[in-house]
Structure 1
Amino acid sequence: MAMVKICGLKDAETVASVVRMPVDLIGFLFAASKRQVTPEQAGALVRIVRERRETGHRVPLTVGVFVDPTMELLAETLKAAPLDAVQLHGAESPAFCRAVRETFGIRVYRVFSVSESASAADDDARTNAVAEALDPYAGCIDGLLLDTAGGGTGRTFEWSRIPHYAQWARRAGVPLFVAGGLTPDNVAGLIEAYRPDGVDVSSGVETNGAKDITKIRDFVERVKGHESHAGA
């Protein structure tokens, strides 16, 4: 069953509601964004998750989203907000990803942007290009996330590109997440066609720029419920 990540959470009420749903990961943005939180704000939200975990409940992993952070920034952030993982959206090298894992003992998810227009290359050429770009990251990351170029655009990329990355992820032994323009209305189609290991949503479950609990619940049900019916 595909994992669900809800990203860009900012307030305690939303976090308290989401952790009671079958959500697998929640994300806090530390990069410049209208959804950005400070380490101190994130720390308070992480405590909500940890307190529920301590009572024996299953809770989502907490993920910090960064763009080209320094090790010093990560250390400062993790001191205030003890996250389970970091998600790196910039030009972070394999060596940097490995250093983060080894220094802080947390999971590292690496994001790769997929251009909205596919090149004219054939399947073999695309598969080779993906391998050339990603092979240096093998053994350095715990997950791969595909997003539309630019990130946070609310637009999908061409999903036909997914299999080339999925092939690499299987070989590397890491889960493949898909983000970019997902909503409760289109996520079931993505899962049906491409079977990613996980899906990541932010603006697609918002109303007027704020997280909408009804939309979050609908999104989660479309993922988890669709697969339950598909496997029946």
Structure 2
Amino acid sequence: MSETMVKICGLQDVEVLKSMKRLPLDYIGFVFAPSRRRITPEQAAVLTAQLADWQADKAPEAAGVFVNPELAELREIMTAVPLGVIQLHGQESAEFCREVKLAFPQVQVWKALSVVSRDTEHASDSHSSLESYAGVVDALLLDTYDPQGGGSGRTFDWERIPHFQQAAAAYGLPLFIAGGLEPGNVSELLAGYAPDGVDVSSGVESGGIKDIVKMTAFVERVKQS
């Protein structure tokens, strides 16, 4: 069984990133969508430069988080920042994802799907929603539905995960889980559902700032599972 991948998202501070260099992370996320964690391309370029000095086995890939971007915006940011992943976290269509993949063939394209309550008509539902993205994106990410787009910081009904896992596996797509994860609940998620990867942001913060103690605990619990 392959090791669960870890992405810590919403990095903004160079000193915080320097403190993380011994953590065996797979992805570091930078938010370019409207958010209190939003950074400019110039800030992101400074931050991604730190990844060259990573002290773990290998440097994590830099992932940019976008909500309903224009292709021109992506081109501008990619010119300034060497992203390895473009994570689309809005209502981007499969056709738009295809355009992004064609424009940046060396970059992974991830599509986030919102998981809503069972009684909500607009649920992104397993095979029907995933089929259009098959062959277009490199990974899928489940997050709690937020009408504003982006991450919600809340968990969703994890009992729905197998439904999506089955569909993602049918199309050969890795499935990441986000939404309300933190050191105290990630072990339960891994034991019950064994996702391909996990994505955390607010769950490893204290007072809105990334907390190295919480980040270390989170990563240890994932990698030792």
Shift of 1:101: 1.3
CA distance in 2, matches of 1:163, 1:3: 18
| Matched position secondary structure for 2:135 | coil
Shift of 1:16: 2.0
Is the counterpart of residue 76 in structure 1 residue 76 in structure 2?
Answer: yes
Give the gaps of 5 or more residues in structure 1: 228-232
Aligned 1:140-159 pairs, distance under 5 A: 140-150=136-146, 151-159=150-158
Contact 1:111-1:147 within 8 A present in 2 as well: yes
1:162 matched to which residue of 2? 161
4+ residue runs over 4 A deviation:
none
Give the gaps of 5 or more residues in structure 2: none
Deviates more, 1:144-153 or 1:24-33: 144-153
Contact 1:143-1:175 within 8 A present in 2 as well: yes
1:8 matched to which residue of 2? 10
Shift of 1:120: 9.8
| Matched position secondary structure for 1:82 | coil
Quick one: structure 1 residues 148 and 56, their matched pair in 2 at CA, closer, same or farther if it must change by over 3 Å? closer
1:132 matched to which residue of 2? 128
Aligned length: 218
What are the superposed Cα offsets for residues 173-216 of structure 1, whole Å, 9 maximum, x if unpaired?
11100000001000000000001000000000000010001100
2:42 to 21, 40, 50: 40
Aligned 1:1-232 pairs, distance under 5 A: 1-49=3-51, 51-52=52-53, 58-105=58-105, 106-115=107-116, 117-119=117-119, 129-150=125-146, 151-225=150-224, 227=225
Q: Which amino acid aligns with 1:34?
A: R
Q: Which amino acid aligns with 1:207?
A: S
CA distance in 1, matches of 2:137, 2:21: 25
Contact 2:5-2:197 within 8 A present in 1 as well: yes
Q: Which amino acid aligns with 1:131?
A: H
CA distance in 2, matches of 1:161, 1:57: 34
Q: Which amino acid aligns with 1:149?
A: Y
Quick one: structure 1 residues 168 and 33, their matched pair in 2 at CA, closer, same or farther if it must change by over 3 Å? same
Shift of 1:158: 0.1
Deviates more, 1:90-99 or 1:197-206: 90-99
TM-score (norm 1): 0.89
Q: Quote the RMSD (CA, aligned, Å).
A: 2.0
Quick one: structure 1 residues 56 and 155, their matched pair in 2 at CA, closer, same or farther if it must change by over 3 Å? closer
Shift of 1:19: 3.5
Question: Matched residues, percent identical?
Answer: 50
Identify the structure with the greater helix proportion.
1
1:230 matched to which residue of 2? none
Q: If you compute each CA radius of gyration, which structure gives the higher value, 1 or 2?
A: 1
Shift of 1:47: 1.1
